[in-house]
Chains A and B, each alone.
Chain A
Amino acid sequence: MSLPLKSDTKHLSESSLEQSTKKVKSILVHSSKVQHQRKSTRHQINLAFQKDCDIQSSSPDNVDGAKYIVSTFSSSIDVIANCNEAVDAETLKKENETNDFRLPSFKQRMQRMQCLTLRSFKAKQERAQQQVAQRVRTIIQLSETQSCINYTKRFLKGIKSMFDALIDLWYRLNFWSQQFREIEGHFGIATSTYFRFTRWLVNLNFMVFFLYLCFIYIPQLSYNNLSDYFTVVNDTGSGFFYNKMVLCSKSYKEKLTTRRANHHWLTFLDIAQGTGFLENTMLFYGFYSNLTVSLHNDFSSRNVKYNMGLGYLLTVGISFVVVFIMIVRKSSTTIKETVMDFDNTAYPLYTNAVFGGWDYCINSEKMSVYKQRIIYNEFKATLWEVKMKKKRENRSTREKSKLYLKRLIINLVVLALLVGSFYTIYLTTDYLIKNQTENLSEFNFLMVNYLPSIVISILNAIVPEIFWALSKVEEYSNSFATHITIVRAVFLRLSSVWVLVVSLYYRLHYKGRKPMDCPEENMYNVTRCCGNTLWESIIENDKLERRTVKCWESYVGQQFYKLCITDFMSVTLIVLSIKIPRRIIHHHLQHRIWVIKKLGRAKFDLPLQVLDIVYSQTVCWMGMFFNPLLPALTFIKVFYFFFLKKFELLSVAEAPQIAYRASRSYSFFQTVLLVSFIIITCLLGYMIGNLKPSMSCGPFRVYSSDEFVMFDVVTNEINSWPTVPQKIVRYFETAAFYVPAFLISLLSIYYYLAVTAGYKKMEELLKEQLKSEAHDKQFLLARVDEIIKRGQWRQED
């Protein structure tokens, strides 16, 4: 750029001064824009905006400016050239070539801009691909392998179009999207994340069910036309255990098929408790046989072997791995956004509220009013938090110590509540087992059986409300109070299932009564019979014979079955008997009775709803091993819950007054799910590795040694492999593998942490650089103005 020289100032007119100023400014602006070029497409968008700005503000005489704009614009000609509906590229090229430049009309510019923004992202790649494909096509047509590749391509194209048609059909069915449209329209996106989560769980359950179907149900069903007893895995020293197993199984089968009066009432009891005829079905672990079948096909002489025990164990293992992978994959997409929450300085709280505040999905009038109230409340709440924070910083020491004392007391109260709940659950389970073999009437027995599940449901419903009330006393900030209540409620819910399991374990494996009439030879001097501790009842009674525990895995499975049913019933009952009447009463009586108006309508409280669903899923995972049919049941149950909750949402509840951020909610759900999943895996792993299975039922009946645990099936299988693979697998068990692997994982974690820290630093530096460059630009413009003004004065002199 050439600034006017001192000698020339007298000859310069005002308009040319203005022109050169504008030129300088445009060049400066252009250079600053170039520096922000991250991608070429973004550059084009910026140019588009800049063009608009310049074109609107500059006079038509400013040919230089216009020419500069066109020159940069022509670099994107090939983008425009493919816009079918917009400007004709030929005319544009012609415009460039002639010096008689006319600015394109505003309409055309808008179209071009639209084209740029739309096409740049999608069509550009497509076009490049098409060009390459075109070139390849021409080359191929010249080659000799023309026909082969053509057929392959056509075949692949056919498959692709078939997939497209299938996906189209699926969307046509419009099933899920219609549901979501309703929910989002009325309650916004944050609530619909709950329903998305539920749908994802339905898919997960279906996958597990499918795995089970292939590897457990179908092989077991194909065994049914074989004899009662079984061919056994070829183990050494198993003859002795085989005999025992036969005796135990016989005794168990006799118990199951004990004849009794065939009342409908008793059938209902059986279904409710999972005993009797239901126990002898695929629902429970006990039904599955320890079969290794050799199928002799007529047309092939190969023996098809299927080791049921191994298959069972591996299927459960693989389904857990699959679930784990799916959860981790889902959470990794949302965790990136949650991480931003932790770094409070970088989280744009206010910008997020202003620009991401309005939910564009809303299409109901009621909800839009509510949404505005929510946004308003959120702003008020944030401002109040700011005030509170200032107040908190100004707290005197005396106030602080009082507050800490209060918090300590409340934490102790919470702990006491938790311990109390756990002890209650333990007591009821104890009571259940004690009364297992007592002489009770049928109805009482049913009540006793369901007692642990009912107690757990009641505790799960009441205690979180108490936690919520307590958190208000603690005077935490709003978000922290919500979080801590949720953490406590999660702890309660997960641990109640865990406590049930542990108390069952304690009772079934440690404290039993000495059996008098064990069908196996009385080798053991312990209270164990066929691997069970409650083999016998004291009173020999036809009725009570049915109540002995001759297969502890099925017994545990029955408890989970009852938990599942109780969960199902309690959620349905709560909606039907509490929420609907509340709504009706509120609707009719709210104007007359002040209390009812104050209480308001039932709220669809997201965190507690999520806990409900996660609890159902937790029960499913825990019981999956003992109840192979439980994934199918849970699939149906979660599917049903989707529609039940939707009904509750749309007709009964009112929108929550606090805004739940959609992204945070989803990652929160995933975290809770992951935590419960990990705990369950640990428990199950311990059980598989440490407990002796029953000899009378299940796929692990035949012990291969004295200290047989379920995992030994895998060990035995590995032992039967040839030497080299065996050695390789054995290597993975030794410390020589674990220690280096552990060290390598630690090192990689440390590496990624260091890289993240480096990126953060770079971000800070770049921010500073941006700021200083903007300051530089302003400084330079000010200098230019100054110099020009000086030139003007000199001119006037």
Chain B
Amino acid sequence: MGNQESIFSPQQLEAYQDCTYFTKQDIIRIFKRFKEIDPSRIQQSKMSNLHYCQSETLPADKLENIPELRENPFRRRILEVFSQDNSGDLAFDDFLNMFSVFSEDAPREIKAVYAFKIYDFDRDNTLNKTDLAKTLKTLTQKSRDQGDLVDGENIEQSALTETEENYILEQVLKEADLDDNNELSYIEFEHVVSRAPDFLTTFHIRI
């Protein structure tokens, strides 16, 4: 328990514990993970400085490669949403905030807020058809740099046809769009996601 106190000041830890859904041990652990990503940039001694916590950022390319985010097709959007200037670079505050939102204890409302932002590709605060189409494409089709052979089995890269995609998008709008303006506002999104049973369980990253 000795070096726990030396990284963060007690007030900081209290504040972090209040602000997020983590215990003190978790926060220390997450900090260690954060440091591992790029040890040369993060100096442990400075972490008790609040300003340092918020300003010293890690670049998006390195963050994309951590095991929790590496296989996620939405990783770029996640990083952009949680960063302070939409660039994808996260400071420790943002990093902690991100995993707090994705933790098991975060309530549905918080997750809905951030999910809405993640799926809103063009950042216009509504989910219109282009946003939904992009979401669907990202879900079913992943860009692969290497070949399509995994474990000796050939996996064909199949995709949904145009008509199928349109049908699915239409159904989504039919289920969710309450005021018939062909796009989902935050309220509609939150309303429909509160009835979707899988959302809470899948929108969760364990660290």
Contacts and interface: CB of A to CB of B under 8 A. Distances in A.
Interface stretch (A7-15, A149-157, A365-373, A607-615): A365-373
Interface string A583-613: 0000000110000000000000000000000
The winner among A45, A106, A167, A590 for most chain B CB atoms within 10 A is A45
Contacts of A177: 206
A46 interface: yes
B158 A356 contact: no
A361 B204 CA distance: 6
A349 B151 CA distance: 33
Nearest to B53: A85
Contacts of A350: 168, 171-172, 175
B139 A171 contact: no
Contact of B97 (A36, A118, A590, A767): A118
A355 B25 contact: no
A359 interface: yes
Contacts of B73: 358, 368, 372
Contact of B140 (A85, A118, A379): A379
B192 interface: yes
A52 B142 contact: no
B205 A360 contact: yes
Interface stretch (A526-534, A548-556, A661-669): A661-669
Q: Most chain-B Cβ atoms within 10 A of its Cβ — which of A184, A361, A367, A661?
A: A361
Interface string B165-207: 0011001100110111100001101001101111101111110
Given A114-B97, A350-B175, A354-B135, A119 B23 contact: no
Nearest to B67: A363
B71 A367 contact: yes
A119 B17 CA distance: 11
A356 B199 contact: yes
Interface stretch (A89-97, A121-129, A474-482): A121-129
Nearest to B106: A121
Given A36-B187, A348-B195, A181 B206 contact: yes
Contacts of A355: 115, 119, 135, 189, 192-193, 196, 199
Given A168-B23, A189-B204, A351 B155 contact: no
A346 B181 contact: no
A681 interface: no
Contacts of B125: 49, 52-53
B54 A85 contact: yes
A778 B181 CA distance: 10
Contacts of B71: 362-365, 367-368
Interface string A44-55: 011001001100
A672 to B, nearest CB: 19
Contacts of A229: none
B202 A189 contact: yes
Given A348-B192, A351-B176, A771-B180, A663 B107 contact: no
Interface in A355-396: 355-369, 372-373, 375-376, 379-380, 383
Interface string A140-167: 0000000000000000000000001001
A354 B132 contact: yes
Contacts of A738: none
Contacts of A375: 139-140
Given A114-B97, A372-B141, A770 B178 contact: yes
Nearest to B75: A360
A663 B102 CA distance: 18
Contacts of A379: 140, 160, 164, 168
Contacts of A41: 109
A107 interface: yes
Interface string A173-217: 000010011001100010000000000000000000000000000
A117 interface: yes
Contacts of A770: 178-179
B151 A189 contact: no
B103 to A, nearest CB: 11
A591 B153 CA distance: 10
Nearest to A667: B197
Determine the interface band of chain A, counting residues with CB < 8 A from chain B.
35 or more
Contacts of B162: none
Nearest to A118: B19
Given A356-B198, A379-B160, A373 B74 contact: no
Contacts of B172: 350-351, 354
Given A354-B135, A357-B139, A375-B140, A661 B198 contact: yes
* Interface size class, chain B: 35 or more
Contacts of A773: 179
Contacts of B203: 356, 360
A56 to B, nearest CB: 9
Nearest to B205: A360
Contacts of A36: 187
B175 A351 contact: yes
B12 to A, nearest CB: 9
Contacts of A369: 142, 150, 155
A358 B132 contact: no
A177 to B, nearest CB: 7
Interface in A72-114: 84-85, 106-107, 110-111, 114
Nearest to B21: A122
Contacts of B192: 348, 351, 355
A49 B203 CA distance: 22
| Most-contacted residue by chain A among B18, B24, B50 (CB, 10 A) | B18
Contacts of B61: none
B97 A46 contact: no
Nearest to A188: B202
Contacts of B141: 372
A117 B186 contact: no
B139 A383 contact: no
Interface in B60-95: 67-68, 70-74, 84-85, 93
A46 B140 contact: no
Interface string B108-144: 0110010100010000010000001001100111100
List 3 A-B pairs, minimum CB-CB distance, nearest first: A774-B179, A356-B198, A368-B71
19 contacts: A45-B109, A49-B186, A53-B125, A111-B84, A172-B25, A181-B206, A189-B201, A348-B175, A354-B139, A355-B192, A358-B73, A360-B202, A362-B72, A383-B167, A383-B168, A662-B201, A767-B178, A771-B180, A773-B179
Interface of B: 11, 15, 18-21, 23-26, 50, 53-54, 67-68, 70-74, 84-85, 93, 97, 100, 102, 107, 109-110, 113, 115, 119, 125, 132, 135-136, 139-142, 150-152, 155, 158-160, 164, 167-168, 171-172, 175-176, 178-181, 186-187, 189, 192-193, 195-199, 201-206
Interface of A: 36, 41-42, 45-46, 49, 52-53, 84-85, 106-107, 110-111, 114, 117-119, 121-123, 126, 164, 167-168, 171-172, 177, 180-181, 184-185, 189, 337, 340, 346-352, 354-369, 372-373, 375-376, 379-380, 383, 590-591, 661-664, 767, 770-771, 773-775, 777-778
Given A41-B109, A118-B97, 6 more contacts: A45-B113, A84-B50, A351-B175, A354-B136, A356-B196, A359-B202
